[in-house]
Amino acid sequence: MKNKERRPGATRKAPASGNNRSSSRPAAGQRRFEDAPARAESAKGRERPAAEAPRAAAQAEAQPARALIERSGERPAERVPVILETPGAGDFHLIDSGNQLKLEQYGPYRIVRPEGQALWKPSLPAHVWEKVDAVFTGDIDEEGAGRWRFPREALGETWPLQLLDVDFHGRFTSFRHVGVFPEQIVHWTWMKNEIEAAKRPLKVLNLFGYTGVASLVAARAGAEVTHVDASKKAIGWGRENQSLSRLDRAPIRWICEDAMKFIQREERRGNRYDIILTDPPKFGRGPNGEVWQLFDHLPLMLDICRELLSRDARGLVLTAYSIRASFYSIHELMRETMRGRGGVVESGELVIRESGLSGKETGRALSTSLFSRWVPK
Ligand SMILES: C[S@@+](CC[C@H](N)C(=O)[O-])C[C@H]1O[C@@H](n2cnc3c(N)ncnc32)[C@H](O)[C@@H]1O
């Protein structure tokens, strides 16, 4: 299925500006992420925020190591608003949504999960919503397992999925996630095309890479990939997915480290990348408890990412979810960061389009996150 890039004449009203960190609820239109894969294994074997233990040491380590570089030159051209829309791909599509829930198809399974933004009524009748394989019912702010219900038959924790020519495991995690964020399909498709069109193997850096689907798509297309995530568990899933995809021999470096620490070291070493994907949570922790706060650390992260771009770089892609901000806040930050580098910054929202039971219909659009992407032209 094709992914469309649409530039509507009129933008919808942006989510309210400002950063309400005390709120546990995601801002309208964006998936929450601090509850997701950032939560690594706890003593009980459940997902909890990565590396809770050495918190005191982490506070010190969380301090940015260098000042922002004073940028000069023109800001890149801009394209706004850009709505990047996917109707799904491979084994995934969004069947229906409504009543603050969404009904998705992941391979053989139909799954119902909470979706705060689906304020409308479902299109499909109740019996379709009832005849599903898994329902996430728990309050996402509470911890503990057992919030998946399997109305038809008991299901295992994982099942095979396929997307953009890579195989990986879907997974019923205790924080309602299933091991993949399908709204990223548009970025991954763009990246795949860039890699395949290049006349040399491109180097890709995937920061906050989670279970590695993007890393595998890049490797399958022929890139040399560096995948960074703070969660040992997520890195383990990524390696498993590499084997499932039969990409064992592909050049992927799996790095379990704090993303900020890693990029600062790469900058000192002079390593460069042609494509950088960064999908940071609002709040997260590195493996040694290093604190990641999006609103505090994003300017420096982008500043360093700019330094890590090769001379012939193809793009720097930022996604932001679960924050109370307009896409303009990351758009203008990206343009300031990329001053003097030319190219274009395009920003807006990632949305998933409902496509019904058949996966072929055209229903309503569900916004998932904000993005900003610098490309050389
Ligand atoms: C929402 S996920 C990214 C999803 C990924 N882009 C995808 O589409 O598959 C956020 C990830 O950030 C990781 N994380 C959180 N804090 C981190 C930190 N300080 N350094 C590196 N990774 C971190 C979490 O473990 C989690 O896997």
> Which atom of ligand 1 is closest in space to residue 208's alpha carbon?
12
| Measured torsion, CA atoms of residues 102, 103, 109, 113, in degrees rounded to the nearest 10 | 30
What would the pLDDT profile of 38-68 be if each residue is shown by its tens digit?
433 332 222 333 433 344 444 445 455 799 9
pLDDT band at 194 (very low <50, low <70, confident <90, very high): very high
pLDDT band at 175 (very low <50, low <70, confident <90, very high): confident
pLDDT band at 360 (very low <50, low <70, confident <90, very high): very high
User: In this predicted structure, what is the pLDDT of residue 34?
Assistant: 37
User: How many whole angstroms separate alpha carbon 233 and alpha carbon 73?
Assistant: 43
Which residues, other chains included, contact 76 with Cβ-Cβ below 8 Å and sequence gap of 6+? 335, 338, 339, 341, 342, 343, 344, 345, 374
Cβ–Cβ < 8 Å for 169, 179: yes
User: In this predicted structure, what is the pLDDT of residue 319?
Assistant: 98
Interstrand relation of 166-171 and 158-163 (parallel, antiparallel or unpaired): antiparallel
pLDDT band at 30 (very low <50, low <70, confident <90, very high): very low
User: How many whole angstroms separate alpha carbon 306 and alpha carbon 267?
Assistant: 10
CA distances from 279 to 184, 207, 320, 357 (A): 10, 7, 6, 30
pLDDT band at 147 (very low <50, low <70, confident <90, very high): confident
Lowest mean pLDDT among 6-10, 101-105, 250-254, 337-341: 6-10
Q: Is the pLDDT higher at 222 or at 57?
A: 222
User: In this predicted structure, what is the pLDDT of residue 141?
Assistant: 52
Answer yes or no: is the C-beta of 292 below 6 A from any ligand 1 atom. Answer: yes
Mutation test residue for ligand 1: of 169, 171, 205, 208, the one with most atoms within 8 Å of CB? 208
Cβ–Cβ < 8 Å for 26, 114: no
Which residues, other chains included, contact 11 with Cβ-Cβ below 8 Å and sequence gap of 6+? 80, 81, 348
C-alpha torsion sign, points 123, 126, 128, 129? positive
* d(CA 8, ligand 1 centre) in Å: 30
DSSP state of 203: E
Mean pLDDT of 348-362: 98
Which amino acid is present at 95? I
Question: In a 10 Å sphere around its CB, with 0-12 CB exposed, 13-18 middle and 19+ buried, how is residue 144 labelled?
Answer: exposed
pTM of the model: 0.86
Cβ–Cβ < 8 Å for 187, 319: yes
Answer yes or no: is the C-beta of 175 below 6 A from any ligand 1 atom. Answer: no
* d(CA 360, ligand 1 centre) in Å: 31
> Which atom of ligand 1 is closest in space to residue 234's alpha carbon?
27
Taking all residues of the chain, what is their mean pLDDT, rounded to a whole number? 86
Mean pLDDT of 69-85: 98
Backbone dihedral angles phi then psi of residue 72, each to the nearest 5 degrees: -130, 180
Q: Which residue has the tokens 């932001």?
A: 320
User: How many whole angstroms separate alpha carbon 97 and alpha carbon 112?
Assistant: 9
Q: What is the per-residue DSSP string for 262-291?
A: HHHHHHHHT--BSEEEE---SEEE-TT--E
What would the pLDDT profile of 79-88 be if each residue is shown by its tens digit?
999 999 999 9
pLDDT band at 139 (very low <50, low <70, confident <90, very high): low
**All structural domains of the chain:** 27-51+68-91+155-375 (3.40.50.150)
Cβ–Cβ < 8 Å for 193, 222: no
User: Does 142 score more than 80 pLDDT?
Assistant: no
DSSP state of 94: E
